Amino acid sequence: MTDAALTFPTAEPEGLQVAFVGKRGALFWLAFKTGFWTILTLGFYRFWMKTRMRRWYWSAIRPGGHPMEYVGDPLEKLLGFFIAVVILTFYLGIVNLLLMFVSFSVFSSASLGYLASFAGVIPLWFYARYRARRYVLARTRWRGVRFGLEKGAWGYAWRACLHWMVTIASLGVLWPRMTFWLEKYVTDRTYFGSARLHQGGGWTMLYRAAVPFAVSLLVLGTGALWLFWIDPVVVSADITLEGVTRSFDEMMDGGAPAMPVVGIERLLIFPLGFLGLIYGAIHYRFVSRRILADHKSSEGISLASRLSGPRVVSIYVLGNFIAYLVLVLGVVALVLGAIGTFGAGVLLGVDVGPLSLGWDLPQGLGIAMFAMFYLTIFLMWNVLYNTFVTYPLMRHMANTLSLPTRYGLRYVSQRARDEFAEAEGFAEALDLGAAI
């Protein structure tokens, strides 16, 4: 008799469903209050804001009715940020100085130095991503049991760089390969207590998630071939940029184009194709996660996801439309407010004399009002993005996730607490830590 037969029962209980119980209104006011204090403290409160937001989201996610817990410490994040900034400042300063010296000495140009400096930051970006995920998992618990992620940030960084080079060399054809192997590297090092996760499947299974994106590319390529080679929109033996520009200008003025145009309505295929690319990119990002989740497992534990690609895209489109509509309207109101506060000359850069619409306000008060309104615009954008994009996405992903096999949970034991000197500091310093 094997050890597995002694450890696990032959009959397993019913699977476990994940639920999301958070209310949108409560999240709106939490995002508004924490965002307000972040602005009031010139950004220092953002570490407390992220902690409070994560605790809200985690507690709303309830596998089997038991809420998740986030136990991260905002002071830990703040100190980690300062440590990372000091390290990165020293590292980037020394490395950039050496690169610029070599670039000027050997090539008599700064261009190669700038390019090498940018390339040198890329591994740090991947390093920071892995460290941030490790920290979040280490501060996440369910039923009192900690999650965890093994050390391996530099291994992830150099693998990510190699996979990106292969993907670029293949013109994106091998993107699913990169997605699978990087996720497998992380998943195979992830723990829930003593239970180690495993990423099964193969990278070719992700191609079905990329079908909408591939179809959109095919439509764009076929449309370009049809409209510019097989049956050109512009019928002329001598097509020049100047002639096309002149024809467009004359058509906009209501006249006949200088160059004959046939079936110009066919050009609509391009905006439709680009919209398809956007849909395909969002679809691939989340449906690939669903496929990968279906192949994640541990001994006696399995995951299953029913995430809907069209539903995710609709959330993204509608939510971003609401958030960015408020942002655009706010910017327009900001410009009108600037004219009202400082006069029309603030936009034209000249003194327009009697045309000025400036109010009779002290200059200091006008600048303060302008700054407050500017910050309020981006506060509302962040609040609405959380309310209409992040919230419904988290809710949909949680409600569509389940554990069909779960008898292994009864044999999971606690793991030691992982300590982090810099917490998510590198992710914050490299602007990777803004997301929930």
Over range 383-409, report the average pLDDT. Answer: 94
Q: What's the confidence (pLDDT) of residue 121?
A: 78
Q: What's the confidence (pLDDT) of residue 247?
A: 57
Percent share of the chain, pLDDT over 90 = 47
Euclidean distance between CA atoms 232 and 223, whole angstroms: 10
Which one is predicted more confidently, 64 or 230?
Answer: 64
The answer to whether 33 and 52 have CB atoms below 8 angstroms apart is no
The answer as to whether 215 is a domain residue is no
pLDDT tens digits, 89-116:
777 677 777 766 666 666 666 666 667 6
What tokens does 281 get? Answer: 């990119």
Euclidean distance between CA atoms 372 and 350, whole angstroms: 25
Euclidean distance between CA atoms 265 and 413, whole angstroms: 65
pLDDT tens digits, 274-293:
999 999 999 999 999 999 99
Residue 5's pLDDT band (cuts 50, 70, 90): very low
The answer as to whether 417 is a domain residue is no
Percent share of the chain, pLDDT over 70 = 72
Q: What's the confidence (pLDDT) of residue 42?
A: 81
Q: Is the pLDDT of residue 71 over 50?
A: yes
The answer to whether 191 and 301 have CB atoms below 8 angstroms apart is no
The answer as to whether 366 is a domain residue is yes
Over range 43-65, report the average pLDDT. Answer: 93
Residue 332's pLDDT band (cuts 50, 70, 90): confident
The answer as to whether 380 is a domain residue is yes
The answer as to whether 65 is a domain residue is yes
Residue 311, domain extent: 15-70+307-399
Residue 188's pLDDT band (cuts 50, 70, 90): very high
Which of 159, 74, 88 is closest to 120 using CA atoms?
Answer: 88
Angle at 117 between CA 114 and CA 122, to 5 degrees: 130
Euclidean distance between CA atoms 434 and 35, whole angstroms: 12
Q: Is the pLDDT of residue 199 over 90?
A: yes
Q: What's the confidence (pLDDT) of residue 132?
A: 86
Q: What's the confidence (pLDDT) of residue 436?
A: 65
Residue 357's pLDDT band (cuts 50, 70, 90): very low
What value does the mean pLDDT of the chain take? 81
The answer as to whether 110 is a domain residue is no
pLDDT tens digits, 117-129:
777 778 888 988 8
Domains: count for the chain: 1
Question: End-to-end alpha-carbon separation of the chain, Å?
Answer: 47
Q: What's the confidence (pLDDT) of residue 123?
A: 86
The answer as to whether 236 is a domain residue is no
The answer as to whether 150 is a domain residue is no
Over range 209-238, report the average pLDDT. Answer: 79
Q: Counting beta carbons within 10 angstroms of the beta carbon of residue 434, is it exposed (0 to 12), middle (13 to 18) or buried (19 or more)?
A: exposed
Residue 252's pLDDT band (cuts 50, 70, 90): low
pLDDT tens digits, 18-50:
999 999 999 999 999 999 999 888 888 988 999
Q: Is the pLDDT of residue 403 over 90?
A: yes
- Pick the most confident of 96-100, 184-188, 407-411: 184-188
